[in-house]
Amino acid sequence: MDAPDWDARYAASALVWSAGPNRFVVEETADLVPGRALDVAAGEGRNAIWLAQEGWQVTALDFSPVGVDKGRRGAVAAGVEVVWIVGDATTWEPPPQAFDLVLVAYLQLPRAALRAALGRAAAAVAPGGTLLVIGHDRDNLERGHGGPPDPEVLLDADTVADDLEAAGLQLVAAGQVEREVETDDGKRTAIDCLVRAVRHTSSS
């Protein structure tokens, strides 16, 4: 889906995604000291707004002007400040090594585009900072529930990890995580990919 497609989707309902943060964002940032955070492909801003509520200085990027506008209104309603930017994760140039946390959540792109986005995200991680990548895992097609039906845009932890290491980061964790999803037929299990990496303070 391109930006106009997402504009239409965001405009069609009050919230496409839940209002609260993703559970893995909450869990994986629990041990981090709030600093500067970049939320890449922030959508309607649920994770960006939550991070701001937790004391982070947040910049949120998305290529959908409608999504960004909804996020901006949500931040105002929540009483927090977030810097909102309309931009494409595959081409936007973040300030280098400027963020203590860079979040890439559910950015489902074909291989080359994802590699480009992850390379730019990694470049934004400050020394001592963390890059957290979460997305629908490729195994979700056969064993899980939900997510895109196109295997070309589903994530694989080993491939994501290789991209982050190639970008100069060091792995902390890479694998699959599961979450329960409420459906009309009861609870189902979704399989996500989760990769966490850091830039050591000695890195250039």
pLDDT of res. 202: 63
Residue 17's pLDDT band, with cuts at 50, 70 and 90, is: very low
Q: Which residues pair with 193 in a beta bridge?
A: 135, 176
The SS3 of residue 78 is helix
pLDDT in tens, 95-134: 999 999 999 999 999 999 999 999 999 999 999 999 999 9
Q: What does the alpha-carbon distance between residue 96 and residue 82 come to, in Å, rounded to a whole number?
A: 19
Domains belonging to the chain, first-starting first, are 3-11+21-198 (3.40.50.150)
Coarse DSSP helix, strand, coil percentages of the chain, rounded to the nearest 5 percent: 35, 30, 35
pLDDT of res. 203: 43
Residue 2's pLDDT band, with cuts at 50, 70 and 90, is: low
Interaxial angle between packed helices 65-78 and 46-53, expressed in degrees from 0 to 180 and rounded to the nearest 10: 30
pLDDT of res. 125: 98
For the ranges 18-27, 44-53, 56-65, 161-170, the lowest mean pLDDT is seen at 18-27
DSSP state at residue 153: G
- Mean pLDDT over 84-104 rounds to 96
What pTM, to 2 d.p., does this model score? Answer: 0.89
> Mean pLDDT score of the chain, rounded to an integer?
90
Amino acid at position 162, single letter: D
